[in-house]
Chains A and B, each alone.
Chain A
Amino acid sequence: MSGPEVFPLAQIPITSHAFNADRSQVAVSLNSKDVTIFARQGQEWKATETLSEHDKVITSIDWAPNSNRIVTASQDRNAYVWQQTSDPQTGNTIWKPTLVLLRINRAATYVKWSPNEDKFAVASGARAIAICSFDPEGDWWVSRLLKKPIRSTVLSVDWHPNNVLLAAGSADMKARVFSAFIKDVDKRPAPTVWGEKLPFNTICGEYTSPSGGWVHSVGFSPSGDVLAFASHDSSISIVYPGGPAMYTIKMPSLPLVTLTWTAEDSIVAAGHDCQPYVFAGNQGGWDLVGTLDDPHSQKSAAGGRSGFGGGSPVGRLNSAAFNTFRNADSRGISSLPGSPISPGSTESELFTVHQNTITTVRPYDGAPGAVTRVSTSGMDGKLVIWNVGSVTPINGVAGLTAKIAGLNLK
C-alpha cells in the first residue's frame, strides 16, 4: 500500500474542506471569510478562484457532488448557496452566491447537504438547526428550524441516507436524532429502526457519553441503522437503537473531533491527536484497531517527516519540547507548524503527518459503505489523502501514550 498523499495548501489553519464530484477541485476556507477553490494540477493544487460574500469567518463548507453546488456557513449568521453560471457580460463561468434566510441570531457552525441534495441542514449557536429547502415560487432557499430540545450550540450534523432523518451533536453533551421531514420535498419515508411516523422535529433518539463532554461529531453508518458520535471526553460511542445498546470506546489520547464511516463495520476518526484512528466492530462490540498514520514507514520513505525521537532520546522530560522552548528563549527560533524546516527546528516536529489538530475527515474515494480513501485537513494547513486499508496497529495504551507525550508539550 502506498503512503498518504500530503498537500501543504497553506500555512494557516484550514477550517473546512470539500471536494467536488470527480475530486479535481477542492473548496477550502483558510480561517477567513473567503472560500478558496484549488484545482489539481498533477501532484499540486493551484488556487483558481475565491468566493467572497461572507462578512465573518467561514465555519463550514459542503459541495454537493451531483448538482455541483457549494453551500457555506459562517459566523456572520448566514449561509450562501453557490452555483456555477455564466457571467452575462463576459461569458465566463462564475460562482454565483444566493443568500439563504436562516433566521438564526448566532453563528452558523456546520452545514451539510442531504443525500438527495434538495435540502441542507445548518447547525448554529442559536440552539437550533435550520433545515433549508428550495422554494421555486419565491426562487429562494427557505428554512425551518429544529429547536426543541436543543439546549446549547449545535456543533455538527449528519444526514441519514433516507434524506429525512438528521443526527446532531451539541455542546449540551447530547447526540440526537431528529426528523427533518419537509412536506413539499420529501415523500413519506419507509419505517426505519429510528421510528415509523416522522413529522418534522420528532426526536428519535437522545444519547450521551457516560463522562459527558461536548459532542463534536456525529455520523450515520452507510445503512443508516447505526449512529456514531465523538465527544470531548476522549471517547467515541456507537449506538444501535434497535439493540438497545451503546458501545463507548474510551481513548487514552486527546479528544476526537471529526469522524466518518468507511464501511458498515468501520469508522475513521481524528482530532486533537493529529492522526486518523480506525475503529472496527459490529453489533457485538467495537474496538480501536489502529491508526492510518504509520510513523515508521514515513520516516524512512519521506525525509520530510522528522524522526521524532530519532536522534535524541526522549525521556520523561521531553527533550524535543524542552529544546523548542530553549531555542525560542535563547536563540529566538520559533517553529510554527508549516514553517520552513531548519535543522534546529526539526526536533520539535510531531511524528505524525499532520502537525496540528485535524478538524475535518471526509470520504474521498469509493462508494458509501466501501470507502477506500479518506481526506483530512487541519489546523496545520495540510490536506492529506489516506488509504483506509493501510492500518498500523497500536501496541496498547503504552505505545499510544508514549507517542502522545510529544504532543502534550508542544
Chain B
Amino acid sequence: MDVNFRKIDIDQYDEDVLNEEELYEPDRRDPSQVLNDTKAKSAAVRSALSKGDTVGALSTVLDQAPYGPNVEEAKNLNLQTLVSILNTTKATEIPGIVKALSTDAQDTLMKYLYKGMALPGWGDVSGSVLLGWHEKLTEAAGVGCIVRAMTDRRTV
C-alpha cells in the first residue's frame, strides 16, 4: 500500500518547523566516542557476568546507553550486549534483579524491552524472554515506567 499520499515535504516551507532533535538534550559525546564507550562496556559486562554479577552487568549496559542519530552501530552493539544478559538470566532471579536497579536504569531497560519486541528475529532476541522481563519490570517499577518508555524521545 502506498502510504506516501503527500509527495511534497511541506515542512521545508515552514520556518517554525519543530525538528525531532529539538525535543531532547543531545548526547554530548562524539559518535566514535560513543561506540568506543559501548565496546568498553560490552567487555565490562562479560567480566561481570562471569562473576555472576547480573545487577552490575545490567547497570553497566544501561548506564549512558547510546541514543539519538548517527550512533546506529553503538545502539546495535548495546542491544546485543543487553540481550545476552537477558537471555542468560534465570527466570526466578529476574524479580530481585529489576528491583535492585535504579529508576533510571529501569526506564532504560523498559525502552530496550520494547525495542527488542519491535525487532522479532533480530540476533538472538526472544519474545518470550522479553515478555518475562517486561512482566517483572512492570511489577517492580509500575506502569509509569512504560509511560516513560513511550514519551522519552531519547530512543535507544
Contacts and interface: CB of A to CB of B under 8 A. Distances in A.
Task: Say if A and B assemble together.
Answer: yes
Interface of A: 127, 151-152, 172-173, 208, 211-214, 231-235, 250-255, 397-398, 400-401, 404, 408
B107 A212 contact: no
B141 A213 contact: no
A404 B151 contact: no
A397 B98 CA distance: 13
B49 interface: no
A211 B107 contact: yes
Given A397-B142, A400-B142, A250 B151 contact: no
Interface in B115-156: 138-145, 147-148, 151-154
**10 pairs of A and B residues whose beta carbons are closest in the complex:** A252-B142, A234-B144, A213-B151, A233-B151, A211-B152, A401-B142, A211-B148, A234-B147, A251-B144, A233-B148
Given A233-B147, A404-B142, 6 more contacts: A173-B24, A211-B151, A212-B24, A213-B148, A250-B144, A400-B142
B23 interface: yes
Q: From A231, A252, A398, name the one whose CB has the most chain B CB atoms within 10 angstroms.
A: A252
A397 B148 CA distance: 16
B62 to A, nearest CB: 14
A231 B152 CA distance: 11
A401 to B, nearest CB: 4
A234 B23 contact: no
A256 B104 CA distance: 19
Q: From A211, A212, A235, A254, name the one whose CB has the most chain B CB atoms within 10 angstroms.
A: A211
B26 to A, nearest CB: 13
Contacts of A235: 144, 148
Q: From B18, B23, B107, B143, name the one whose CB has the most chain A CB atoms within 10 angstroms.
A: B143
A172 B23 contact: yes
Contacts of B140: 397
B11 interface: no
B142 A253 contact: yes
A299 B107 CA distance: 35
A25 B144 CA distance: 37
Contact of A212 (B103, B141, B152): B152
B2 interface: no
A255 B18 contact: no
Nearest to B22: A151
A397 B25 CA distance: 29
B151 A254 contact: no
27 contacts: A151-B16, A151-B22, A172-B18, A172-B22, A173-B23, A208-B25, A211-B107, A211-B148, A211-B151, A211-B154, A212-B151, A212-B152, A213-B148, A213-B152, A231-B151, A233-B148, A234-B144, A235-B144, A252-B141, A252-B145, A253-B142, A254-B144, A255-B147, A397-B141, A398-B139, A401-B139, A401-B142
Contact of B147 (A173, A208, A254): A254
A204 B84 CA distance: 47
Contacts of B153: 173, 212
Nearest to A234: B144
A404 B147 CA distance: 13
Q: From A233, A235, A254, name the one whose CB has the most chain B CB atoms within 10 angstroms.
A: A233
Interface in B67-113: 103, 107
Contacts of A255: 144, 147
A252 B18 contact: no
A127 B16 CA distance: 10
Contacts of A254: 143-144, 147
Contacts of A211: 107, 148, 151-152, 154
A128 to B, nearest CB: 11
Q: From A208, A234, A235, name the one whose CB has the most chain B CB atoms within 10 angstroms.
A: A234
A250 B18 contact: no
Nearest to B139: A401
B152 A401 contact: no
A404 B143 contact: yes
Contact of A250 (B16, B103, B154): B103
A252 B144 contact: yes
Nearest to A401: B142
Contacts of B141: 252, 397
Nearest to B149: A211
Interface string B51-63: 0000000000000
A127 B142 CA distance: 33
Contacts of A214: 151
A253 B143 contact: yes
B23 A212 contact: yes
A213 B151 CA distance: 5
Contacts of A251: 142, 144
Nearest to A231: B151
A408 B144 CA distance: 11
Contacts of A232: 147, 151
Contacts of B18: 151-152, 172
B104 to A, nearest CB: 8
Nearest to B111: A211
B151 to A, nearest CB: 4
